[in-house]
Structure 1
Amino acid sequence: MSAPDGSTSPQMSIEAFLDWSPGQVSVMTSRQGSHAPSSTGFTGHIRVQPALSEPERAFLRALIDSDRTLRGTPTGRGDRDVPFAHLAWEVCADGCCLTWDPALEESSMMRASLAFLVDHLLRRGAKGEGRSALAGFTFNHVLDGAVMGFAPGDDASRLVEISGNVVTERLLPPPCDELQVRPSTTRSTGRTRRGKLPANVIEFRPRRA
């Protein structure tokens, strides 16, 4: 898949990023009567290549600590297309991965805020390129990965994927609670399998040839 800047990045599968353990899978698939998972949780991460520089990491951490929204950033002011959201994508110590912190923002802002990071701050040709307020930014990053999770108030699990700096989102509703009726099984004779008859009932079997 081609990135907006013309570069290419290998297609990467969801499984490469969603390192589920059995316990994590149950978080996503367990159900209540309200058709919602019984717990909250997010899994997966976004890989950043090359890793973010120290000025870039410091900027993202300062933005989270300041409690400002994305519209309060150098490229977000006056831009109505920028989501009115707090940054909840946290960068690791090495700058190579981003993970989602559901305590910082609604999960409905996952896709829009990730697209903001890419289009304003990280990719080649981003909106912030050349601005003095972003000195030290390299604007040469390519992001790939996936994050999936469920937060309070959500009706479905949310899957955000990014490949070659292109962000997509899918909602994965839980299955219904209706039990499926299993069809009756038949033996090779074609007769329907039945339970044991009462003691006072005589069953007449057909004579075999």
Structure 2
Amino acid sequence: MMKASQIMTEDVITVRGSSTVAEAVKLMQENAIRSLVVERRHDEDAYGIVTETDIIYKVAAYGKDPKKVRVYEIMTKPCIVVNPDLGVEYVARLFANSGIHAAPVIQHRLLGIVSVTDILHQSDFVENPKEAVLEEQIQEAIANARQICNEKGVTSSDCAAAWDVVEELQAEAAHQRAESLDKTAFEEYCEEHPEAAESRMYDI
């Protein structure tokens, strides 16, 4: 899965909170962008974000003079931020759940900004959908687990650990589909090899 750092825009256009909305609009128009990261006032401060929606909904819709309204009056601060190592699928889910269209990518410092447009045009979700990739990983993990159990024994800790990997992948796939998992691959394996269940009896 691609990461946020692979699809983000590194050249981030920022604006001061004290700037006027008119100045923010000019920056957006000049750079053909839909949002601006609001600069921090000091190292302990949080980043903010101002979007075209903020400007339309909070300024234009009420006939306010954008030359008199300041960015800090309409921005969101602190804003939702994205870790550069976050998978693109999870960035998309974060956007969907929070109703946002862009977020700064931060790890100790501002690294870039990622938007729904970046997800649509830069990521590989069409070529490599998470569901298909997960299913392939599950099948590989099952084959690996069966091989390890054959070599090490069905009651070995190595066998149990291999099936743990399978179950984690299956749980993620079930979450992806918003479905409950009726039967795990390990439970199916135990139907063939009942003694394998003993490998899960960990010491407490």
TM class by shorter chain equals under 0.3
TM-score, normalised with respect to structure 1? 0.26
Larger Rg: 1
More helix per residue: 1 or 2? 2
Between structures 1 and 2, the one with greater strand share: 1
Higher RCO (Cα < 8 Å, 6 or more apart): 1
